[in-house]
């Protein structure tokens, strides 16, 4: 659902790009695992010359997601404290760096000591290894019992109750993935602290062409400025199966890019 490449042909009414342009897209249509792809012009954005196409492929979907999380759902800024689960995943890596650049205090959760080092390098002020300590207790310790302004949770079922416990009154719980399954949630859970709960979808926030282009430009500008430290795991397209296995077995950090063999 995301890719970058060189335009080799355009339709007669297309004016937003031309043959030879380097472009990228994120979202529908499905079908990026291929050497050539036909795309609707309104879903394609220009990749600046200073941005490596592999970086563009690795960052656009996650970058747009991070933009939605930090700049639209809840506008993170100085004085805020956030908790980001899976801090060294594709979205987590960018979200933590971005939130740090925006002046927020960033708490990240990871599964290993090795990933904790990466999380620190990617902008986390505090890193919690959830396999070794209770992340709720640590968050409350870090925040002196106040809790965080927002939790960004892509894990779902396994972390949801703990995420709720970490939020301050009237804080935000942003669920943007369910890696461990769909969480059980009740009105009582949310009402206890008057929590604002949302499940943002990238398609709804980028449906408008202007919004898509503006958000993409902002994402790429952070690449150009060096704010984003983008880690790419590169596999040949023919080894897509192995890439999925490595992802499933938590052998990767950052983003995976598949490159056509030829």
Q: What is the pLDDT of residue 89?
A: 86
Higher pLDDT, 136 or 190: 136
Q: What is the pLDDT of residue 35?
A: 94
- Tens of pLDDT, residue by residue over 44-96, are 999 999 999 999 999 999 999 999 999 999 999 999 999 999 999 889 999 99
Give me the number of domains the chain comprises: 2
Same-domain status, 240 and 168? no
Q: Is-contact 139 148, C-beta < 8 A? A: yes
Residues 74, 4, 44: CA angle, nearest 5 degrees? 65
Same-domain status, 44 and 81? no
- Tens of pLDDT, residue by residue over 118-129, are 999 999 999 999
Residues forming a β-bridge with 198? 174
Distance between CA atoms of 96 and 121, rounded to whole angstroms?
10
**Is residue 97 very low, low, confident or very high in pLDDT (cuts 50, 70, 90)?**
very high
What would the mean pLDDT of 38-48 be, rounded to a whole number? 95
Q: Which 8-state DSSP code applies to residue 171?
A: E
Same-domain status, 189 and 114? yes
Q: What is the pLDDT of residue 234?
A: 93
Same-domain status, 19 and 103? no
Record the tokens describing residue 97, joined without a space.
Answer: 């760096």
**Which domain covers residue 145, as residue numbers?**
74-199
Q: Is residue 65 part of a domain?
A: no
CATH code of the domain covering residue 25: 3.90.180.10
Q: What is the pLDDT of residue 252?
A: 80
Burial (CB count within 10 angstroms: exposed 0-12, middle 13-18, buried 19+), residue 79 = exposed
Same-domain status, 187 and 220? no
- Tens of pLDDT, residue by residue over 146-187, are 999 999 999 999 999 999 999 999 999 999 999 999 998 888
Same-domain status, 216 and 186? no
Q: What is the pLDDT of residue 189?
A: 87
pLDDT at residue 28 is higher than 90: no
Q: What is the pLDDT of residue 222?
A: 93
Q: What is the pLDDT of residue 183?
A: 92
């Amino acid at each position: 659902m995301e890719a970058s490449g060189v335009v080799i042909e355009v339709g007669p009414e297309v004016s937003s790009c031309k043959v030879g342009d380097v472009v990228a897209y994120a979202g529908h249509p499905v079908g990026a695992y291929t050497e050539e792809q036909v795309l609707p012009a309104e879903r394609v954005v220009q990749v600046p010359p200073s941005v490596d196409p592999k970086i563009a492929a690795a960052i656009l979907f996650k970058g747009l997601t991070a933009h939605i999380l930090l700049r639209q759902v809840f506008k993170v800024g100085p004085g805020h404290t956030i908790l980001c689960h899976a801090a060294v995943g594709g979205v987590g890596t960018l979200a933590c760096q971005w939130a740090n650049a925006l002046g927020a205090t960033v708490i990240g959760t990871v599964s290993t000591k090795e990933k904790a080092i990466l999380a620190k390098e990617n902008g986390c002020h505090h890193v919690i290894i959830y396999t070794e300590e209770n992340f709720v207790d640590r968050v409350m310790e870090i925040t002196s019992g106040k809790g965080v302004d927002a939790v960004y949770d892509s894990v779902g079922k396994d972390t949801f109750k703990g995420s709720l416990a970490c939020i301050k009154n009237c804080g935000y719980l942003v669920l943007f993935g369910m890696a461990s399954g769909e969480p059980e949630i009740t009105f009582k859970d949310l009402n206890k602290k008057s929590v604002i709960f949302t499940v943002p979808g990238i398609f709804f926030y980028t449906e408008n062409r202007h919004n898509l282009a503006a958000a993409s430009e902002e994402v790429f500008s952070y690449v150009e400025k060096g704010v984003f430290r983008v880690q790419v795991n590169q596999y040949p397209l023919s080894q897509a199966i192995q890439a999925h296995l490595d992802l499933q077995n938590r052998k990767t950090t950052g983003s995976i890019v598949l490159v056509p063999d030829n």
